[in-house]
Amino acid sequence: MTSPTSVSYEIAGRLRTEILSGRFRVGDRMASERDLAARFGVSRGAVREALSLLEQQGIIEIQPGGARVRPLEEASLAVLGPLLALEEVPDPDLVDQFLEIFSMLTALTVRGAVEQASVEQLIQLKRMLVDIAQCADDFEAMQPHWQALLDYMAGIDNNLVARLIGNDVKAQVLGPMLQLNIRPRLPAGAGTELVKTLTRAFNRQDGALAASAFETHFDQLRRAMREALQGMREALRRQVV
Fold of 4-75: Arc Repressor Mutant, subunit A (1.10.10)
Which pLDDT band holds residue 241 (cuts at 50, 70, 90)?
low
- Domain 79-240 belongs to what topology? Four Helix Bundle (Hemerythrin (Met), subunit A) (1.20.120)
Which phi and psi angles does 77 have, rounded to 5°? -65, -20
pLDDT at residue number 170: 78
The answer to whether 111 and 208 have CB atoms below 8 angstroms apart is yes
Average pLDDT for residues 9-32, to the nearest whole number?
94
Is residue 32's pLDDT more than 60?
Answer: yes
Fold match between 4-75 and 79-240?
no
What is the structure's pLDDT at 143?
84
Task: Name beta bridge partners: 61.
Answer: 68
DSSP 8-state symbol, 31:
P
Q: Please tell me the distance from the alpha carbon of residue 74 to that of residue 19, in angstroms, as a whole number.
A: 13
Break the chain into its structural domains and give their ranges: 4-75, 79-240
